[in-house]
A and B are shown apart, each in its own frame.
Chain A
Amino acid sequence: MIVFLTTLVIAVVGAAVGFGLVYTGKKFHVEVDERETAVRECLPGNNCGACGFAGCDAMAAAIVSGAAPVNGCPVGGAPVASRIAQIMGTMADVKERNVAFVQCKGSCKVTRNQGNYIGVQDCRTAVLSGLTVTECSYGCLGFGSCVVACPHDAIHVRDGVSVVDPRKCIGCGLCAKACPRKLIVLIPESRHVAVQCSNRDKGPIVKKVCSAGCIGCGMCQRTCEHDAIRVTDNLACVAYENCVQCGACAEKCPVKVITLPLGQVKKNIPA
């Protein structure tokens, strides 16, 4: 008898729950565009927020709804963009991956600290103290606010100045936002001609505070045949739309503050 009763109760409860599930499943069904799931699977999934959306899920939804371009993920770059374009049935206008670049080479060998700053070892806090901290008032402070901000361990303070490891960098730009001196910029991965200085003072003043700084002599501007590097405000600035990466400017630079093109720079990256 008891066996029969137990079976019956379980059967009834099972049936009730089953119908309930089917009903609620139908009633509360949410239409999900299957493309969104597919797009989400293509995205890297590290939720860095570099695209400007809250994370990869939000980005996928934005791509499907048309609010974001198919190549909007700066981390995934060309391969991800082309896969997403396939799903969306459009052509991806392939955008190159960006890499962070520190516009300062003021290591302990070439410049010094000043003002005897003591306190919280954080760049943004140090700037609030009113001390210049480093002799160069434009240069890297070396307390590593960018290091803390980086989600991919791609930036480190070496010898008093932040250095980016381009192989690890995903180009999310969080370090650039964290830097109180605005030294970090994002440049396309294949572009290796860049000026490693942000000092806008006149040459003699720069010489006094840092032996590696850009003195604004204009040698690069005169050397360049493509009008791709110009000195404004005593600081050289590369115009990437014209640059062919011949490296002539870097060779001629008397203070060697311009980084060299591809082949040569790759060798310099420490393992």
Chain B
Amino acid sequence: MNNTFRGGIHPETHKSLTRDLPLRPVEAKGEMVFPLLQHIGKPALPLVKKGDAVLVGQRIGEADGFVSAHVISSVSGKVKAVEKRRVQNGQMTECVVIENDGSYTSLEPYDSRYDVSHITGEEILRRIRDAGIIGLGGAGFPTHVKLSPKDPSAIRFLIANGSECEPYLTCTDQLMRTESAAIVEGLELMLRLFPNARGVICIEDNKPEAIAAMQAAVAGRQKLSVLPCKAKYGQGGEKMLIETVAGIFYPASMLPADVGCIVQNVCTIYAIERAVVYHEPLYRHVFTLTGDTVASPGNFIVRDGMSFAELLEAAGGLKEGACPRKAIVGGPVMGMAISSLSVPIQKTSSGVALVSVDESEVGQSKMTACLRCGRCATVCPVGLTPQMMADAVSVGDLERYEKKLYGLECLACGCCGFICPAKRPLVQMFLSAKAEILSRKRAQAGGKK
């Protein structure tokens, strides 16, 4: 099959644990924590204070500026506190803490359709912004910003990302199987914003049921198509999808909109459909709980704000005597390990894998010097030379890393680290080098002012 990109890897997917398990709603019980910064941009400003009563779907955090997003309560109850709590990324972030009263009294029922046949583009964008929708693929970029490029008529491709190339995760697969009509409707609503665009739904070919469901849903629609892609890790990246669909490769200094493409995760598109057609803000989303230590793994519809520990308990807990060595949120390759399961699930959490064997631990025990085999360069989807970049980082030559080796183009997709037979911690080296370069640049810019 030609529908793919250059590079990429084939890790063990572990998707069989959950791939055929239907989505189940879970209700939260106890305390709910809503971080005010779940997105890229400025943190939201709290709209409630201690003692306030809130309802399901009520806005509790107001977007601060254009590149920011609202925060929505997923339960009804009383605000317990507005304070700093530890969140998924390990940082302490300002959070709204709500004591759930368990009644789930909602602002609106969110089950009756509104007429959208004459809805304008501005109205769609306003609904998306009001619903607090951000990219649910993991990065959390505010969706209304992404859908407001400088020149909407220059957009040629609207790519629905249903690749789900990360191992373990299967909730997007299930969502496409069950909600294909809603996803197609959401995509059509988005297409109204871009008169010259075509909608392409990219799905990896290891999800035949999802491909069949989506194909049936798009049948007879001129501007939409389903593109089955080769199942390969890396396919779900924005850059790789654009390379697959449009055949365009662009540098890190450019945005997808600059090359006439906009990529949205299908979960985001589903949220857009719910927001525009049902006026339902984003307070719940699909989630995969998996790993070899979980008693009954599965795909769930979770409410934002519940803790990972609570979800685990509701799903049946750990296997008898099992002790997870690591908990990784958002897929094991690009996801982040979390230190504690008591942190809240937020909009961008797409799944958690509780694994008994820590691959990085195994890897480090086998680490040797670089063999100069060059496999890292063959799998790099951006076409970089990780072995040379690692050399530059280890001697502290960040100038060479940035200017000669184009180190800032690195997506940190993890392909090089996975394939490395010497088990070098390549991605981690690149991440720290990038952070160091960016902080120096910031310091320089600050010095000039």
Interface residues of A (CB under 8 A from B): 114-116, 118-120, 122, 124-125, 128-133, 137
Bound-complex Cα distance A118 to B325 (A)? 12
Is B48 an interface position by the 8 A CB rule?
no
Given contacts A131-B339, A132-B90, A132-B339, contact A124 B435 (CB under 8 A): yes
Across the interface, which residues of B come within 8 angstroms of A118, CB to CB?
A: 358, 360-361, 364
Q: Which of B311-368 contact A (CB under 8 A)?
A: 325-326, 336-340, 358, 360-361, 364
Q: Is there an interface contact between A129 and B337, defined as CB atoms closer than 8 Å?
A: yes
Measured CB to CB, the closest approach of chain B to A49, in angstroms, equals 15
Mask of B61-96 contacts with A, CB within 8 angstroms, 1/0: 000000000000000000000000010111010000
Residue in B89, B364, B435 whose CB lies within 8 Å of A130: B89
Indicate if the CB atoms of A116 and B326 lie closer than 8 Å: yes
Considering only CB atoms, which chain B residue lies closest to A131 in the complex? B339
Within 8 A of A (CB), among B394-439: 425, 428-429, 431-432, 435-436
Bitwise interface map of B from 38 to 69 toward A, beta carbon under 8 Å scored 1, else 0:
00000000000000000000000000000000
Q: How many residues of B contact A (CB 8 A)?
A: 23
A120-B432, A133-B339 provided; 4 other pairs, C-beta below 8 A? A114-B340, A119-B425, A124-B432, A125-B428
Shortest beta-carbon distance from B212 to chain A in Å: 38
Chain A nearest CB: distance from B391 CB in Å?
Answer: 15
A148 vs chain B, min Cβ distance (A)? 10
> Min CB distance, B136 to chain A, in Å?
19
Q: Is the CB of A120 within 8 A of B90?
A: no
Nearest chain-A residue to B91 (Cβ)? A130
For B431, list chain A residues within 8 Å (CB).
Answer: 125, 128
Q: Give the residues in chain A near B337, CB-CB below 8 Å.
A: 115-116, 129-131
Please give, as numbers and ranges, the residues of chain B lying within 8 Å of A131 by CB-CB distance: 90, 337-339
Contact of B92 with A137 in the complex, beta carbons under 8 Å: yes
Chain A residues with Cβ below 8 Å from B89 are 130
Rounded to whole Å, the gap between the CB of A130 and the closest CB of chain B is 4
C-alpha spacing A116/B360, complex, angstroms: 10
Cβ of B435 and Cβ of A116 under 8 Å apart? no
Q: Does the CB pair B86–A129 fall under 8 Å?
A: no
Give the CA-CA distance A116 to B356 in the complex, in Å: 12
**Given the interface contacts A116-B326, A120-B428, does A130 sit within 8 Å of B336 by beta carbon?**
yes
Of B339, B428, B429, most A-chain CB atoms within 10 Å: B339
Q: How far is the CA of A257 from the CA of B442 in the complex (A)?
A: 36
